[in-house]
Each structure stands twice: as structure tokens, then as C-alpha cells.
Amino acid sequence: MDRNQIAKWFKEPSKMANKYSLHAIYFCTGCGIIEVPPVITARWDAERFGVIPVATPRQANLFLITGYVSVKTLKAIIRTYEQMYEPKYTVAFGSCPINGGMYWDSYNTIKHLDKYIPIDGWIAGCMPRPEAIFVAVTHLWTLIDKGMANGYERYKKYYRAYRRNQELALGKLEWPPLYPIGEHTEGGECD
Amino acid sequence: MVGRILQFILYPLVALAIGVFFLGLARKITARIQWRYGPPLVQPVIDMIRLFYQKSVSHGPVFAVGLIMSLAGSIVVVLFLPFGSICPLSGSGGLLVVLYVMLLAPMGIALSGGQGANPNISIGISRKLILALGYEVPFLLVLLTVMTHYNTISIVQVVEAQRDIGWSIASLPLFLSGVSYLLILPAMLGFRPFDVSTAPQEISSGPLVEYGGKYLLMATIEHALLLFIDIALFVNLFLGGAGNPIIFFVKMLIVFVLVLFIHAAFPRLRIEQAIRYLWKWPTALALAGLIIVTIGRS
């Protein structure tokens, strides 16, 4: 911990604590799982910065999605994201969640993950080096400092649109809406 | 009178501070043994601040009540343990009270987990209670041996008796019991190789799986107090307590670092392996110690 930041700790304890205690839940959908162990073990040791993996979404506040997202996995990703407690941050790792990557013409993968859940940070590359996770974390720190890592607020604000996109991809969702969405969306009024 | 009230308020806070320091030290030392740099020592405090500000969802009234019950039980046990010269509630029957109230902590967690209705919680709770069954047998034998040897059920009197004749663990009749307590200490603290109930990779950290935000904060505080209780009891009964809190803290630190080395070096046992171990060596040693003490008295 930096001594220069003690004043900031007293001013905004919640923001500072969120920065330096990112408990990550890893969603390793296809590739990308092999980049995570060097980061959390002796080679690069992410625990120096307070980033540790946890086993359940209830305890986590950083959601790391690595690799391509198939339609079937999207369902699990949405459910995991909705189980996390606010404030929560999302980082998509690899080019496939950004624009489909090498699966750009696949019938069974999601091309733009941002349409379904809000993403706070992207790491481009196929695959990115493990150090890229630190780049993402430091970038997330700046975003949290400036109040720009507000994906969970966007999710709440535009939940109707997100829910509509999710239903377009997955068909009828078998879980109730996380936030109230009004009576309009029920009958498939959206074009 | 004011001093006594101050002791009641400050002593649990001191115990909590020591427990949280131990949590940070555990992460740092484990990291250094694994050739990592490790988090800063205050990392558990940062985590706790983060958990305090995080939103959380309750799964029903018992979900919170169980946690509060286990926390209250832990604080009461702390008040009964002498910490150097500070002993707010150690009347005549300290050891028996400690023995009973210590069970409140796992029971409260089990009660709270029942409301969580997650299959991982059920598995974790059943493993925790089976493990408790494993270490309670040698633990009770050890406490019985100490009570028989010193002919008292007060922890303060046990500490005073050791001031005259030296540490219990260094004296012959109680040596086996002390070793037995040391052998079951990792199981009581939930450290490796006995962290079956909170195994993150197998059952998603078991009873803690539904806790987040302030609930996880309470569970962390409860764990920190548990670290303090079990180690302080060992120091009081076998390492002669201490005249002042600082020496007591140093003794606790040595015992904790010893347990930590085992934690960092050993892999996790399965539950039936853990029970087999706990009912074999520590129980045999504790039983032998009890027999020696009983024969020596008659």
C-alpha cells in the first residue's frame, strides 16, 4: 500500500477498498484457462495487488470472461453476473468476446458480449499474454478512480435492452428479471 | 469498575485485531513459502472494508441470525480466556464454559447455512460437523487430563499453577496431551491439511458459498476470533499463559507460525482420511496422557 494514498483512504474508503481488493471469479469458457494459473501463482503473483480467485460469484467483485462465448455458455455467464453483488466489474479477455475473433462466422458463438452484459474492460489478443491481466487491472483502477467503471449501473439503467438482447439470443429465459422492466416487454412488442 | 468495563469492551476488539493480523500473516507467509511476494499485511482489512461497502442479499431471517449467534458465541468465549493479566470473565468454571460455548460457532454457521439452501453448503456443513466429531474426542480427552492434573476447572488457576512448576508441555505427565493438542490444532482452525469443509476447488468454499457483502464480513470476523480462541487456549493451558499481554502475544505468534508451516506445505486430506488420522494418533496420545495422569494421582 502506498503511503501517499492514506488521505484518499479516509476520503473515499469504499472506492479505494474496491480498487485494492478485486476478488475475481474466472469464467474460462473455452481457451484462456491456461493464462490464468501463471497469473495467480508464483510466476506473476496477482495477490500482490489484492487480486485473488474466489470460488463463488457471491464473494467476487471482478468477473473475468476468457475466450469465446458459445450460446450455451452465455446463459451461465448471465446468471453468474446477476448473482454477483454490486459494485461489480467485468473484464473480457481475448478477442472473441469483443467481435467474435476467429469465430466471426460461427453459428454457435456470441459475437459481441457487450450486447448481453455490460463490460468494463477489454483485453484484445488471441490469446493475450498473462501480463495483460495486470494491464487490465491497472486500467480498471483508473476507471474506478474516475467513476467510469459503472457497468453495473448501466445494466440497471438499460436492463430492458439487455434483457431483450438476451432473449433474442437464448429464446425464453427461465429466470425472472433482475430489475423491474415494465409491462411492455412481455408480449414481444420490440421489433 | 471503569477499568473492568473498559476490559469488556476493549478485549474482544484486541482479540479481533490479533485474529485479523493472523489472517494477513497467514496469506503473507504462505506466499513467501510458495516463492511469491504476497499481499500486504493489511490485505484482510482492505477486504473487510470492501465487504462492508458491498451490497448483499439475505436468504431469510435465520441466515443472519445464525451468523450473529456464532459471532456472539465467539465473543463470549474470548471474554472467558485470560489474555496475560486481562481476564474479564474468568470466574471459577472457565474451562467448562469455554468447552460448551465453543460449540456455538459451528452450530450458528450450520444454522445459517441451512437457510442458504445451496447443495454445496450442505456438503460443507456435514464435513465440518464430521471433522468436529473427529477433533472433539482428543480435545475433550486433553481438557479432561488438564482438569484432572491440576484438580481445577478454572483457566486462571491452571495458569497460576504453571507459574510455580513450569510449562505444562514441558512437564512429564502433560507432555503427551500438549503434543496431542498441537496435532489437532490445524483441524480446529480449519487449516490445511484439514480444510475439507471450506475447500474452494471441490465444493465452492462450502458453508461460505452464499455469503457475500456484510455476511461474509461477519464470517471473516468469526474466523479471526476462532484463530484467537484456539491458540489462546493452547497458550494458556500448555505454554504457561503469561504475566503481560505482549509475552502472551509472542507465544501465540510462535504457535500460529508453526501451524502455518504445516498449512503451507501439506495438501488437503479427504474427510475419511482426516477422521482416520484424528482418531488414531492424537486420540491415542491424549488417552495415554490421561492414563498416566490418573495413575500418577492415585
* DSSP annotation of A68: -
Nearest CA distance, B124 vs chain A (angstrom): 13
Contacts of A86 in chain B (CB under 8 A): 54-55
CB of A93 within 8 A of CB of A86? no
- Positive or negative, the CA dihedral B180, B182, B185, B187 is negative
Cross-chain Cβ contact B34/A41 below 8 Å? yes
Domain assignments of chain A as residue spans, ordered by start: 12-159
Closest partner CB to A17 (pick from B37, B53, B57): B53
- Amino acid found at B45: V
| Predicted confidence band of residue A188 (pLDDT cuts 50, 70, 90) | very low
Closest partner CB to B37 (pick from A18, A45, A87): A45
Count of Cβ atoms closer than 10 Å to residue A176 Cβ: 6
* DSSP annotation of A118: -
- What's the pLDDT at A191? 40
Residue A101 backbone class (left: φ over 0; alpha: ψ -120 to 50; beta: rest): left
Per-residue pLDDT of chain B (298 residues; tens, 9 = 90+): 787 788 888 888 989 999 999 999 999 999 999 888 889 898 999 999 999 998 888 888 888 898 999 999 999 888 888 887 777 776 666 888 888 888 888 888 888 888 878 888 889 888 988 998 889 899 999 999 988 888 888 888 888 888 888 787 778 778 888 899 999 999 988 888 888 888 888 888 888 888 888 899 999 999 999 999 999 999 888 888 777 888 889 999 999 999 999 988 888 888 889 999 999 999 999 999 899 888 887 7
Contacts of B35 in chain A (CB under 8 A): 42
Nearest CA distance, B27 vs chain A (angstrom): 9
Distance CA B157, CA A102 (A): 74
Cross-chain Cβ contact A47/B40 below 8 Å? no
Report how many Cβ contacts below 8 Å link chain A to chain B: 84
By CA distance, what is A50's nearest residue in B?
B39
Cross-chain Cβ contact B50/A18 below 8 Å? yes
Contacts of B212 in chain A (CB under 8 A): 56, 58-59, 84-85
Closest partner CB to B211 (pick from A13, A14, A59): A59
User: Which string of DSSP letters, residue by residue, matches chain B?
Assistant: -HHHHHHHHHHHHHHHHHHHHHHHHHHHHHHHHTT-----TTHHHHHHHHHHHS----S-HHHHHHHHHHHHHHHHHHHHS-BTTB-SS--S-HHHHHHHHTTHHHHHHHHHHHHH--HHHHHHHHHHHHHHHHHHHHHHHHHHHHHHHHT-S-HHHHHHHHHHH--TTTSHHHHHHHHHHHHHHHHHHT-TTS--TT-HHHHTTGGGTT--THHHHHHHHHHHHHHHHHHHHHHHHHS---SSHHHHHHHHHHHHHHHHHHHHH-PPPPHHHHHHHHHHHHHHHHHHHHHHHHHHH-
Cross-chain Cβ contact A41/B56 below 8 Å? no
Q: Please give the residue range of the domain that contains residue B203.
A: 2-297
Interface contact A18, partner B, CB < 8 A: yes
Contacts of A13 in chain B (CB under 8 A): 49, 53
Does the predicted model carry a pTM greater than 0.90? no
* DSSP annotation of A25: E
Q: Measured between alpha carbons, how far is residue B142 from residues B79, B169, B175, B248, B287 in Å?
A: 22, 12, 11, 21, 8
Distance CA B252, CA B248 (A): 6
Distance CA B183, CA B266 (A): 14
Nearest CA distance, B274 vs chain A (angstrom): 23
For domain A12-159, the question of CATH label 3.30.450.40 is answered with no
Nearest CA distance, B216 vs chain A (angstrom): 7
How many independent structural domains does chain B possess? 1
Contacts of B34 in chain A (CB under 8 A): 41-42
Residue A163 backbone class (left: φ over 0; alpha: ψ -120 to 50; beta: rest): alpha
Distance CA B146, CA B158 (A): 8
Nearest CA distance, B228 vs chain A (angstrom): 24
Residues 29-58 of A with CB under 8 A from B: 41-42, 45, 47-48, 50, 52, 54-56, 58
Q: Answer whether residue A133 shows pLDDT above 50.
A: yes
- What's the pLDDT at B90? 67
**A62-96 confidence digits (pLDDT tens):** 998 888 888 888 888 998 998 888 889 999 888 88
- What's the pLDDT at B279? 92
Cross-chain Cβ contact B27/A14 below 8 Å? no
Nearest CA distance, A89 vs chain B (angstrom): 13
Nearest CA distance, B255 vs chain A (angstrom): 25
Q: A23 pairs with which residues across the strands?
A: A52
User: C-alpha cell of A44?
Assistant: 506473476
* DSSP annotation of A129: P
User: C-alpha cell of B270?
Assistant: 479427504
Residue of B109 and A182 predicted with greater confidence: B109
**In sequence order, what are the residues at sequence separation of 6 or more whose Cβ sits closer than 8 angstroms to the Cβ of residue B28?**
B38, B39, B40, B41
- What's the pLDDT at B87? 77
